[in-house]
């Protein structure tokens, strides 16, 4: 496999750092090959590990620390001394904020590594033909190093093989273990065995089984369906109204009040109905409707493991008061609660609900989170 420098900043010196943005869910030979190329072309290699601080899910089964362990285990001590691994949180629906976070993270790390160099040369390395690597075009001030996709390996296939085996890698001669040996290192396989034995990862395997069975319900459809959901982002006095899910998908995770739109109702009617069902919010319906400040569509294609699901969320801004309206859970949401902005934990939030809240609440929310 080869890599080629596609663009170079004017007057650039030999590369001080190569930046590789990856998810590594899990780490495989394709990732390793790009990192090896980066090590051959730069003094330092900065790995920005995406989808950090996410709840475990079939798409994100491993934490950033677990993925960092896989990477470290696949390189020598000498190479690891030149590799820096930085967790990178997704910022859905706001590419400019995500780009800024990357620039800040790289700048901060380079200042730590080489404080005497005010203008380090940076190269962004990755697969330009990979649909998920559009970001390679978003940093014109950096060099761009284009690498071939090593043997077409992708982490989606690895996760599918692991889940189809029920997360069981104990049999050395099993089909799944034999397959993994062709796409990742023995060190990663050993780590995967330990990670897959954890209770919360076992839950992810169960979640995937639920999703696969769920999809069988429309397997014979002439085309995959598109689902429409509604959600309410109710805000008052620096708090947002959230619920705890008691069903799959997202069992036990924290979510916005909401659900599927019925065929006989408008989007606004559906959002108000779901809000009332999920939280028993003690606010008159007319007040809720009159407090709607914004309605927005959230349509990231991979936002839900259930399939193509488009969410319509309404921002309901209630008048600030010294006391919050009473709430209690519904049939599908045993707990409803008011949560201060600065206590919202993205690692516990269902699907993209954290990002929906950030998008609708805006600057004040980011400031309270320190983000």
Each residue of 204-248: pLDDT tens digit? Answer: 999 999 999 999 998 899 998 999 999 999 999 999 999 999 999
Task: For residues 107 and 94, give the distance between their C-alpha atoms in angstroms, rounded to a whole number.
Answer: 20
Residue 7 has what pLDDT? Answer: 52
Nearest of 27, 23, 39, 37 to residue 87 by alpha carbon: 23
Over 50: is that where the pLDDT of 76 sits?
Answer: yes
pLDDT in tens, 346-361: 999 999 999 999 999 9
Cα R_g (the chain), whole angstroms? 23
pLDDT in tens, 273-312: 999 999 999 999 999 999 999 999 999 999 999 999 999 9
Beta bridge partners of 7: 144
Q: Exposure string (b/e) for 330-363, b if CB count within 10 Å is 16 or more?
A: beebeebbbeebeebebeebbbbbbbbbbbbbee
Domains and CATH numbers, the chain: 3-201 (3.40.50.620), 227-369 (3.90.79.10)
Task: For residues 168 and 162, give the distance between their C-alpha atoms in angstroms, rounded to a whole number.
Answer: 7
C-alpha distances in Å from residue 295, one per residue of 157, 227, 268, 316 = 37, 18, 9, 9
């Amino acid at each position: 496999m080869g890599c080629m420098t596609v663009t170079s900043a004017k007057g650039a010196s030999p590369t001080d750092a190569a930046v590789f943005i990856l998810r590594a869910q899990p780490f495989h030979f394709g990732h390793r090959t790009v990192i090896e190329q980066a090590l051959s072309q730069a003094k330092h290699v900065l790995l920005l590990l995406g989808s950090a601080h996410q709840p475990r899910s079939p798409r994100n089964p491993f934490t950033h620390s677990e993925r960092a362990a896989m990477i470290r285990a696949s390189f020598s001590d000498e190479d690891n001394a030149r590799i820096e691994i930085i967790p990178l949180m997704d910022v859905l629906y706001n590419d400019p904020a995500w780009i800024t976070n990357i620039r800040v993270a790289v700048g901060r790390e380079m200042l730590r590594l080489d404080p005497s160099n005010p203008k380090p040369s940076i190269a962004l390395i990755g697969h330009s033909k990979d649909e998920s690597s559009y970001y390679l075009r978003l940093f014109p001030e950096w060099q761009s190093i284009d690498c071939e996709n090593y043997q077409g390996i992708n982490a989606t296939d690895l996760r599918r093989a692991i889940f189809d085996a029920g997360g069981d890698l104990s049999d050395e001669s099993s089909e799944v273990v034999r397959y993994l040996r062709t796409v990742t290192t023995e060190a990663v396989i050993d780590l995967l065995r330990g990670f897959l034995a954890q209770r919360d990862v076992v839950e992810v395997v169960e979640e995937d089984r639920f999703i696969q069975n769920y999809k069988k319900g429309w397997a014979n459809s002439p085309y995959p369906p598109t689902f429409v959901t509604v959600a309410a982002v109710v805000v008052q006095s620096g708090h947002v109204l959230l619920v705890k899910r008691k069903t799959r998908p997202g069992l036990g995770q924290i979510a916005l009040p909401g659900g599927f739109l019925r065929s006989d109702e408008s989007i606004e009617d559906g959002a108000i109905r779901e809000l009332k069902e999920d939280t028993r919010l003690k606010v008159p319906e007319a007040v809720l409707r009159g407090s709607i400040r914004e309605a927005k569509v959230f349509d990231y294609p991979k936002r839900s493991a259930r399939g193509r699901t488009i969410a319509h969320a309404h921002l309901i801004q209630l008048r600030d008061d010294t006391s919050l309206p009473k709430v209690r859970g519904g049939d599908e949401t045993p707990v409803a609660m008011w949560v201060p902005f600065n206590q919202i934990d993205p690692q516990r939030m269902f699907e993209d609900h954290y990002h929906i809240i950030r998008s609708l609440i805006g600057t004040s929310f980011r400031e309270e989170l320190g983000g």
